[in-house]
Amino acid sequence: MSDKPRILVARPTFPEVIERLAAHFEVEHNQADESGSPEQLRSRLQGKSGVFTTGAERIDAALLAACPQLRICANMAVGFNNFDLPAMTAAGVLGTNAPDVLTETTADFGFALLMATARRVTESEHYLRAGKWQNWSYDLFAGQEVHGTTLGILGMGRIGQGIARRGAHGFGMQVIYHNRSRLSPELEASCKARYVTKDELLQGADHLVLVLPYTAESHHAIGAAEIARMKPGATLVNIARGGIVDDAALALALRERRIAAAGLDVFEGEPRVHPDLLTVPNVVLTPHIASATLPTRLAMATLAADNLIGFLVHGKAVTPLNPQALEKR
Ligand code: DGY
């Protein structure tokens, strides 16, 4: 048996990333296109010092207790709500994520989803494919205006700022945002964005884009009460995480046309989608693909691999989330 550290790659990934890892580690690669059960993950992790996760694998106290050799979990995602970070810190296990490399690609998609939602792109395509198109008509699939309207952003991290820049500089939109902390005056100026309260955001936005992290506090940050505060012609786009929006409340609001439309890339309990969302026409649904271009996904996977190599081989991760975990070892 080799004396290289043993790691698990929890899901299929790029062959070149496996090759990069195999130069340093004995790699077990789960080739199945699913995370499997928590028990399967626990069993695969026996004797492993590190794991490459995708954001779908839950790392919690029970798993950590069963895998005492584990030292690092490297997420191929900027979001890390699949990690119980306090439990990892207490167990002395480092978590890392994959920030920056996906920012512009994800902001592109946020804007694509906003456009598709406001201009009814998928709804009209389904109509055409179904052979229903008879004539050009003055109000056929008339949608919501985008240019020159007010873009609201909830969660103004790097991706939120990217969407703001696209809206302000590309589409002449007025940008308002709400965030846990206000941006510096320089960043606000570069995004042409104005800080407002959450209530002002809900009431003022023609298009509201959600880009905040999922936490206990942001669970159902947009529910029936918040949707009721929005303009009747507004659209809502969620590229952040499922659970931030109350999907059942949103489906009802869409059916009753309390807002014009929604675009969702993420869902509560995904890959399952709330059945009511599947039957309302005024929603664009995509399967968590906001960062999905091959160059960006390769950059994310490479960063996750570099975190494993950096930490387990050279003693320093590239993008650590809880460096205080190292004091526990
Ligand atoms: C992320 O990086 O958090 C994206 O949602 C992909 O999982």
Q: pLDDT tens, 66-80?
A: 999 999 999 999 999
Res. 92: pLDDT tops 90: yes
Q: Whose C-alpha lies nearest to ligand 1, atom 4?
A: 77
Q: pLDDT tens, 263-300?
A: 999 999 999 999 999 999 999 999 999 999 999 999 99
Q: Whose C-alpha lies nearest to ligand 1, atom 7?
A: 77
User: Is the Cβ atom of 105 under 6 angstroms away from ligand 1?
Assistant: no
Q: Are residues 263 and 304 in the same domain?
A: no
Q: Are residues 131 and 217 in the same domain?
A: yes
- What is the best residue among 78, 289, 296 to mutate for testing ligand 1's pocket, by most ligand atoms within 8 Å of CB? 78
User: Is the Cβ atom of 291 under 6 angstroms away from ligand 1?
Assistant: yes
pLDDT of residue 2: 79
Mean pLDDT of 120-148: 98
- Classify residue 1: in a domain, yes or no: no
Q: Are residues 183 and 323 in the same domain?
A: no
pLDDT of residue 1: 62
Q: What is the extent of the structural domain holding 239?
A: 103-285
229, exposed or middle or buried, with CB in 10 Å at 0-12, 13-18, 19+? Answer: middle
pLDDT of residue 33: 81
Q: Are residues 156 and 277 in the same domain?
A: yes
In the reported structure, the alpha carbon of residue 102 is separated from the centroid of ligand 1 by a whole-number distance in angstroms of: 8
Mean pLDDT of 198-204: 98
User: Is the Cβ atom of 78 under 6 angstroms away from ligand 1?
Assistant: yes
Res. 35: pLDDT tops 90: no
pLDDT of residue 259: 98
Q: Are residues 139 and 57 in the same domain?
A: no
The per-residue pLDDT of the chain, averaged, comes to: 97
Alpha carbons within 13 angstroms on the beta-carbon side of residue 184 total 4
Res. 205: pLDDT tops 80: yes
Distances from the Cα of 208 to the Cα of 104, 135, 200, 299, angstroms: 18, 33, 12, 29
In the reported structure, the alpha carbon of residue 141 is separated from the centroid of ligand 1 by a whole-number distance in angstroms of: 32
pLDDT of residue 56: 92
Domain CATH number, residue 17: 3.40.50.720
Q: Name every residue whose Cβ is closer than 8 Å to that of residue 12 and which is 6 or more positions away in sequence.
A: 29, 30, 31, 32, 33
Res. 121: pLDDT tops 90: yes
Res. 166: pLDDT tops 90: yes
Mean pLDDT of 36-48: 95
Q: Are residues 249 and 206 in the same domain?
A: yes
User: Is the Cβ atom of 79 under 6 angstroms away from ligand 1?
Assistant: yes
Mean pLDDT of 228-240: 98
Look at the chain and report how many structural domains it folds into: 2
Q: Are residues 154 and 77 in the same domain?
A: no
**In angstroms, rounded to a whole number, what is the distance separating the alpha carbons of residues 228 and 107?**
27
Q: Are residues 89 and 215 in the same domain?
A: no
Q: Are residues 96 and 229 in the same domain?
A: no
Q: Are residues 58 and 128 in the same domain?
A: no
Distances from the Cα of 139 to the Cα of 115, 122, 145, 176, angstroms: 18, 16, 14, 30
Q: Are residues 151 and 188 in the same domain?
A: yes
**In angstroms, rounded to a whole number, what is the distance separating the alpha carbons of residues 99 and 165?**
18
- Classify residue 28: in a domain, yes or no: yes
